[in-house]
Structure 1
């Protein structure tokens, strides 16, 4: 390939803006915007990752209060140059079939399931970006011997940084952002 396709050229010298993602039909389905740059998730998702995301979404739907919606693979507009796509999220934005993103101020929880391709971003970059955007809860899920391990963070409002509040194996019990009890091993068992 000698040159990039025209659609990959940023529309302005400073890069892309959040609203530009809605006008890139040629872009791969899983495209995020990070500091004005397009980030493509091109590697295939593993079956473990898919099963965990689907089961966790269903579990969060059962536990979430009535004013919340749970979604998978929807982008969150953090600011004008950052629009990330967590694996699962909980939002207070009412359901609208035409939405393509959620505003950060409506997000109560974001969950990232770490894959080899996303490990650095999930452990460092997204941890910082979600906190700076004011999202109160962040869960990072890692695979350990085939089982999910959930690293839980809460936002420290004055510093706009996350504080780790626990690492959970086998079971997870939390009272925030809402009361939830999960058997983590059942999320991926056949």
Structure 2
């Protein structure tokens, strides 16, 4: 009776001494989609919730339609922080000059004007604590954190304080979000999670 050979263990299952590097994300075979590199460790994305999908689509679309010349909006794309950190914000606004061709797999963190993180249960610690520290270190000037609060979107807005190099809160938005940086936007946040239509009584 022949036995079925076991599938070979993927190369990324065992990290090298010192951890993986940003370049490895482009060369390791069969990585799951939207894999990030945080402190030399691979971080795999969990299944996306409807809230996460709706929020990413909302901000990508609204910002893209409002962005002035010179800026581009990109969704779920990795950025180079340093050799051992290549996170993937859910939405970024970048200087358009760094977008060279459609074969790019990452963008320099120094080109990012705004990073948006939509919080999932498994990413809560990274989005609230780990990533903001790394984004501040490379001086990304604006950070928005989007959370699901009892079925409604809640957006925490932060700006980098030049003297301290840390983020400071500039607002918490529930139903309507109106800000002037990185450019002026006026957003109806209730559109992210619209109430279900009442059943037709007929």
- TM-score category, normalised to shorter length: over 0.9
Matched residue count = 187
**Which residue does the alignment assign to 2:67?**
64
Note the C-alpha offset of 1:156: 1.3
Note the C-alpha offset of 1:6: 2.7
Structure 1 unpaired stretches of 5+: none
**Which residue does the alignment assign to 1:123?**
128
Aligned counterpart for 1:54 among listed residues 33, 54, 57: 57
Structure 1 stretches of 4+ moved >4 Å: none
Aligned counterpart for 1:25 among listed residues 26, 29, 37: 29
Correspondence 1:97-112 to 2 at 5 A: 97-112=102-117
Q: Which whole-Å deviations, capped at 9, do the CAs of 1:133-171 have from their partners, x for residues lacking one? A: 111100000111211110000011232211111101101
Aligned counterpart for 1:39 among listed residues 38, 43, 50: 43
State the secondary structure of the residue aligned to 2:114. strand
Note the C-alpha offset of 1:23: 0.7
**Distance across 2 between alignment mates of 1:70 and 1:167:** 22
Higher strand share: 1
Report which of the two structures shows the higher radius of gyration computed on alpha carbons.
2
Give RMSD over aligned pairs: 1.7
Q: Which whole-Å deviations, capped at 9, do the CAs of 1:52-101 have from their partners, x for residues lacking one? A: 11111000001111111111110011111100001111111335201101
TM-score (norm. length: structure 1): 0.93
Aligned counterpart for 2:11 among listed residues 6, 9, 22: 6
Q: Which whole-Å deviations, capped at 9, do the CAs of 1:93-137 have from their partners, x for residues lacking one? A: 335201101100100000000010100110101111111111110
State the secondary structure of the residue aligned to 2:29. coil
TM-score (norm. length: structure 2): 0.87
Aligned counterpart for 1:79 among listed residues 63, 69, 82: 82
